[in-house]
Amino acid sequence: MRLTPAAAALVLSTLAWPAFAQPPAATQALPSAQAYYEFMMARRLEADGDSAGALAALERAQKLDPGSAEILAERAALHARRNEAGPAREAAEKALAIDKDNVEAHRILGLVFSAWSEGAAPPPPGETPDSLRSKALEHLKVIRSSPAMATDLSLQLAFGRLLLRSGETDAAIAELEKVAQQAPYVAEPFVLLSDARRSKGQMFEAAEALAQAAEINPRYYVSLGDLYERLGRWAAAAGAFGQAIEGVRSPSRDLRLRYVSALLNVPGGVGAARAKDTLAEMLKGSPNDTRLLYLMSTAARQLNDSEGAEDAARRILAIEPASLAGLNALSRALSDRYQYRQVVDLLTPLSKDAATRAKGREGEAAMALAQLGLAHQQLGAYDAAIAAFSQARTLAPTDTIFDLYLAQGLVAARQYERAASVASEGIKRDPEDARLIRLRAQALSRLGRGSEAISFLEDAIKAESRSPQLALALADAYEAEKRYDDAVKVVRQAQEAFGEDQEFALRLVSLYDESGRLADAERELRAMIERDPLDAVALNYLGYLLADKTDRTPEAVTFIERALKVEPDNPAYLDSLGWALFKQGKVAEADGPLGRAAAALPANSVIQDHHGDVLARQGKWAEAMAAWQRAMAGDGESIDRDAIDKKIKDAQRRR
């Protein structure tokens, strides 16, 4: 059967002799000298471009020597090079009927069946891709140790591809690695290796292979960016998309947006400036593009430009008053300024009409509802938060991010059993989501099932050892069991495996703090500040540590004030400043920042406890009691409930 012109190129590329391989030689002297003459004439005619004449010569040779498997195998190869798969198969099978070990016949049948299985042409009647792959492998496995296979990289590549498509992944990897070593200048072996590694769940190794393919052929940079996104390696994803942009004269809007999105997902906002520059250029040509404005708002937020973020969000709503993207952008901008009540006012109308307003944009509506839930959570309205998260999850039931939001809300509300259940449901849909795995383990720990949490995480790490999130989750689980040394070891190993990262460093600080190793905690924080003098998180943490655990309060105030210069309205930093001033005995000065912090985060138990102490020192017993009661009803993190209860009872006597 002759292949279609479109399919012919595929078969030709897989069946033709590669430039680095020699055509098969006749393995035995032919019985007839005239037959041998016709055989060699066929090769010469084909070399001169006369394939029809070559075929006629081989037909004459076969008539002269009908018992020659070599002539039939040569005819099969010539038919294949002429894209005549049916005649190629027929001739090769006749050759094997004479000589079951004929290497060339096995080679041709392997490649013909392989080409059919890949859809190069409609398969023969009764055949399926699986059956054709099976037949192709049957022939190629016969000659896998032959010189023909050893010297023909295209044949080895086809063999590796067939093994992979047939589910023989380990054998495919071994074969493809050999091809890649011999032909490091060819992209396809690395692409197939990436596919094979991915099928085994070896995602980081898959990315390494695809990165090598992209270096050879830049068209794979987009696929590489996709894979890095899947792994959460946003800086690498941005780099891959950036390379893809450089490789084309006029990059598409979609590609540029993917580049921007990856930049905006890089932790710490380090890609925000480049994203903003790209967006500013794109907005020159499309000033009313609401997608670009949404991303611009996000970039401004990451650059701590709250006014710019709000301005871009309000521009969206001015263009499209009912825009879900605009609501999302504005709610985030307001949340960054700790204006949670305004967020509730903004999004509550949506919650009453979400299903109607979504209509094909359920994901955006669900995200806005999640922002509403987060605002309620910060205000201590846990039932309202859970209701909003549940509504979001109903709108977008296949997106596990809403399982994550709901589970987090349930943990905040101390509904740990339900939180573990919701996280488990999300893990069933996405077994590789490290955030859900971490959250389920956290819920188990809070339920007093620490050993189960640790076993669950250790099993997850065995399946995917290259996950920083899972390493941090295991450290959390060890900490919950007060196995501080084990937790520190896990974080140190993660630093060695994944490099320095602020989250790892802060986790170490927290572990040292919790275990009483204050000198080690201070050393880590000072190292972070030395690396980045504007690291507000480290500056605040060091200031709070010194104020809360030592008598070095003047030095503590200095560090906290430096943090507030970076983020002037951050309630956590205001709390630290107020607490440091309180520890110095400056009660009146402490009331201002602590009052602002307490108003912004009414559900933060530590802040409410601190504010209650300041109010009590001023003799404002009723207000102090109210603050302590909010502390008891809040998130419950890092407080001594018995001590607060005692303070409330004492205040009741003093009123």
Over residues 122-141, mean pLDDT: 90
Inform me whether the pLDDT recorded for 25 exceeds 50. no
Radius of gyration of the chain (CA): 34
Number of other residues whose CB lies within 10 A of the CB of residue 230: 14
Side chain identity, residue 278? T
Looking up tokens 């070990």 gives 101
Is the pLDDT reported for residue 638 higher than 90? no
Half-sphere exposure of 73 (CA within 13 A, CB side): 24
- Rounded Cα distance between 12 and 9, Å, is 5
**pLDDT at residue 7 greater than cutoff 70:** no
Going along the chain from its start, the domains and CATH numbers come out as 1-181 (1.25.40.10), 414-494 (1.25.40.10), 500-581 (1.25.40.10), 602-655 (no CATH)
pLDDT at residue 15, as a whole number:
38
Q: Are 207 and 226 in contact (CB under 8 A)?
A: no
What CA–CA distance (Å, rounded) separates 522 from 556? 12
- Whether residue 320 contacts residue 328, with contact meaning beta carbons closer than 8 Å, is answered with no
Which among 207, 210, 226 is positioned nearest to 218, based on CA atoms? 210
pLDDT in tens, 221-255: 999 999 999 888 999 999 999 999 998 888 999 99
**Distance (Å, whole) CA 336 – CA 556:** 25
pLDDT at residue 9 is higher than 50: no
Between the alpha carbon of residue 78 and those of residues 33, 104, 120, 121, 496, the distances in Å are: 21, 11, 18, 18, 57
Q: Give, as one character, the DSSP assignment of residue 50.
A: -
Q: How many whole angstroms separate alpha carbon 596 and alpha carbon 441?
A: 34
Mean local confidence (pLDDT), 47-72: 93
Confidence of residue 28 (pLDDT cuts 50, 70, 90): very low
Q: SS3 sequence, 368-437?
A: HHHHHHHHHHHCCCHHHHHHHHHHHHHHCCCCCHHHHHHHHHHHHCCCHHHHHHHHHHHHHHCCCCHHHH
Task: Tell me if 374 sits within 8 A of 335, measured CB to CB.
Answer: yes
First-to-final CA distance of the chain: 100
Q: What is the pLDDT of residue 372?
A: 96
The helix or strand, by DSSP H or E, that contains position 632, with its residue range, turns out to be helix 621-633
- For residue 24, the model assigns a pLDDT of 45
- Is 108:71 a contact under the CB 8 Å cutoff? no
**CA 500 to CA 504: how far, in whole Å?**
7
- Please compute the mean of the pLDDT values over residues 432-450 and round it to a whole number: 92
- Over range 167-177, report the average pLDDT: 93
DSSP secondary structure string for all residues of 10-32: HHHHHHSPPTTSPPPPPSS--S-
Average pLDDT over residues 32-59: 91
Out of 123-127, 463-467, 572-576, give the one with best mean pLDDT. Answer: 572-576
Write the pLDDT tens digit of every residue in 328-380: 999 999 998 899 999 999 999 999 988 888 888 899 999 999 999 999 999 99
The least confident of 27-36, 144-153, 383-392 is: 27-36
Backbone angles phi and psi of 84, in degrees to 5: -105, 80
**Rounded-to-integer distance, Cα 186 and Cα 188, Å:** 6
Determine contact, residues 375/335, Cβ cutoff 8 Å.
yes
* Whether residue 558 has pLDDT greater than 50: yes
Question: Which pLDDT value is given to residue 455?
Answer: 93
The total of other beta-carbon atoms located within 10 Å of residue 6's CB is 9
Q: Say how far residue 87 (Cα) sits from the centre of its chain.
A: 48
H or E element in which residue 624 lies:
helix 621-633
Mean pLDDT of the chain: 90
Helix axes 153-165, 5-15, angle to 10 degrees: 110
Distance of alpha carbon 351 from alpha carbon 392, whole angstroms: 9
In this structure, are residues 132 and 155 in contact, taking their beta carbons and an 8 Å threshold?
Answer: no
Give the model's confidence band at 269: pLDDT under 50 very low, under 70 low, under 90 confident, else very high.
Answer: confident
Whether residue 110 has pLDDT greater than 70: yes
Q: How far apart are CA 622 and CA 605, in angstroms?
A: 18
Q: How confident is the model at residue 431 (pLDDT cuts 50, 70, 90)?
A: confident
Asked if residue 559 has pLDDT above 70, the reply is yes
C-alpha to C-alpha distances, 396 to 261, 366, 369, 611, nearest whole angstrom: 21, 6, 11, 40
Residue with tokens 């690695």: 177
> Residue 323 above 60 pLDDT?
yes
Confidence class of residue 427 from pLDDT cuts 50, 70 and 90? very high
Residue carrying structure tokens 């509403």 = 372
Residues 486-528 have pLDDT tens digits of 999 999 998 888 877 788 999 999 999 999 999 999 999 999 9
Compute CA distances 243 → 139, 279, 541, 565, whole Å: 41, 18, 38, 37
Pick the range with the lowest mean pLDDT from 12-16, 272-276, 531-535.
Answer: 12-16
pLDDT tier, 31 (very low <50, low <70, confident <90, very high otherwise):
low
Task: Compute the average pLDDT of residues 68-76.
Answer: 94
As to burial, measured by CB atoms within 10 angstroms (0-12 exposed, 13-18 middle, 19+ buried), residue 561 is: middle
Tokens of 279: 């967006």
Average pLDDT over residues 633-639: 87
What is the per-residue pLDDT for 465? 67
E-strand ranges in 234-303 read none
Q: Is the pLDDT higher at 125 or at 292?
A: 292
pLDDT above 70 for 12 = no
